[in-house]
Copies of this chain bind each other. A is one copy, B any other.
């Protein structure tokens, strides 16, 4: 929460929302919501976060300092593998195995390994406690009574689920549709680390795409099916193979990716990330292993980006089936369902259980109601079994949970039939396909992928460049009066005014530094275009990456910059239209 972090995340905030809005929300006609961060306990109880959103923690037994148990074991194994020259092949194999199964270890298993290896507190060398679960949510209290616990949301998704009914209504009660949300999420990490990669407060962008579980096709899948990129299916990971380039269409048709809608979003995420400036050769889609995936999930893929910290999970794209809506329906009693009206009423077979109140009353007296309810609550298989037994034997033993015992049901007490009925609609709980973006992580990787160095004028000098694409560059353009002359400053201010009117974020640098120094500084900030005012009627426009320069009329220059920033033209397009500017001797001297 220091200054660097604030400036770092500010850049994130500037760079992200517009591309996300254009690429996802606008392109797919998504709804967009903004739900509160402070969340009542009941919501996060239903979602499972209150009970299960934990990490295993150990405490320094003397100082009380806390550590993540798995981090300590991981660091120990890695350290051994990297630095211990005396390691036997068997030991190496053991450490490698632990690294592979780290996420699956229980509290007991982690504790046993920590004891076995004699791992101690890294700062003090004191002994450590046994691992115990620590809930990662920031807890607070809502209202003045102290009786309403609440938590800072650990993800934005739950806000969309609890608002499903309104969103569905807003979409004209039609499926499929998606709702998107960008906002803060909070996780009280035991040990924050690695800059923007593991922090306690971060920006998430989440899309919840609601779809009929019986039809997960996607009308626009054809737009992405020819894409080919690095994928890392479950089988390849388990067989120790590496990620391979697959064609998305094949991955779906061969069943590697569970369904078309999931595949569509994988493709769109690929396009989004590469369009932001992520290097496609350091981006892969890794399928979750069975042990990583929640029991209810149909399939799950992570977009992983390689950076100096290794392959980092930056986007999760999961088919969460109907789990979330069902969990909230169950807890709240509010049905979160969709319905499909049939064009023609359909004949369906339905199980009908009709207990005879009279017979049950005679047989069970005061217990009649409990038996009746238990009969009505039978599932189809159980009911059909009972029907068969009643028909063959005339009676059957039947467990009534609310009575805590078996009773004897006779044929006269209940009629069980499959009847044909006309139905006008089908009710169901929609499945959810969820792409979830860790914005800070994406932006951090983008910083690494966009960064490069090139030689300066001085010997051995290396100049830093952030090659941000125009779409994401926080500052789109700089304006430099070549030398400190009032007539140039007047033109610079005029251009600045035109850029402001065009909505182009820019800075004017009026310092007397050489133009070369100013170019170097603007390259380091990742500004795509620089305008040098070296004349009162036309100016020089310089492209950051190619260092090409063209001459453009003063009155035209803001709209030329806007064209490139909006993506209507590339620099190459613009180059054709305007005369090339050849640096004068003086400027050439100045360019480092």
Which residues of the partner chain B approach A166 to less than 8 Å between Cβ atoms?
3-4, 6-7
Nearest opposing residue in chain B for A566, CB measure: B503
Which residues of the partner chain B approach A200 to less than 8 Å between Cβ atoms?
36, 38, 142-143
A333 interfacial by beta-carbon distance below 8 Å:
no
Among the stretches A21-29, A249-257, A369-377, A532-540, the one at the interface with B is A21-29
- What's the nearest-Cβ distance from chain B to residue A69, in Å? 12
Do residues B36 and A1 form an inter-chain contact, with CB atoms below 8 A?
yes
Q: A1-B39, A184-B37 are in contact. Are A190 and B32 (CB under 8 A)?
A: no
Q: A6-B166, A7-B166, A32-B14 are in contact. Are A144 and B190 (CB under 8 A)?
A: yes
Nearest opposing residue in chain B for A170, CB measure: B7
A98 interfacial by beta-carbon distance below 8 Å:
no
Please tell me how many copies of the chain the complex holds. 2
Number of interface residues of A (CB under 8 A): 63
Query: Contact partner of A6 among B4, B35, B37, B141, CB < 8 A?
Result: B35
A320 to B155 alpha-carbon distance, docked (Å): 37
A1 to B40 alpha-carbon distance, docked (Å): 9
Do residues A140 and B143 form an inter-chain contact, with CB atoms below 8 A?
no
Query: Contact partner of A145 among B1, B37, B65, B172, CB < 8 A?
Result: B65
Contact mask A120-164 → B, CB, 8 Å, 1/0?
000000000000001000111111110000101000000100110
A329 interfacial by beta-carbon distance below 8 Å:
no
Per DSSP, chain A at the interface is mixed
A569 interfacial by beta-carbon distance below 8 Å:
no
Do residues A27 and B500 form an inter-chain contact, with CB atoms below 8 A?
yes
A66 to B141 alpha-carbon distance, docked (Å): 14
Query: Contact partner of A142 among B170, B184, B188, B566, CB < 8 A?
Result: B188
Which residues of the partner chain B approach A184 to less than 8 Å between Cβ atoms?
37, 183-184
A334 to B50 alpha-carbon distance, docked (Å): 40
Which residues of the partner chain B approach A33 to less than 8 Å between Cβ atoms?
6-7, 10
Do residues B503 and A138 form an inter-chain contact, with CB atoms below 8 A?
no
A34 interfacial by beta-carbon distance below 8 Å:
yes
Interface centre among A36, A66, A183, A190 (most CB of B within 10 A): A36
A49 interfacial by beta-carbon distance below 8 Å:
no
A462 interfacial by beta-carbon distance below 8 Å:
no
Which residues of the partner chain B approach A3 to less than 8 Å between Cβ atoms?
162-163, 165-167
20 interchain pairs, CB-CB under 8 A: A1-B39, A3-B167, A6-B166, A9-B36, A10-B32, A10-B34, A12-B34, A17-B17, A22-B503, A26-B503, A27-B500, A29-B508, A37-B184, A38-B152, A66-B145, A134-B144, A142-B188, A144-B188, A183-B184, A503-B566
- Identify 7 new A-B residue pairs, CB closer than 8 A, beyond the known A9-B35, A29-B507: A37-B184, A38-B186, A57-B144, A64-B145, A139-B141, A141-B188, A142-B200
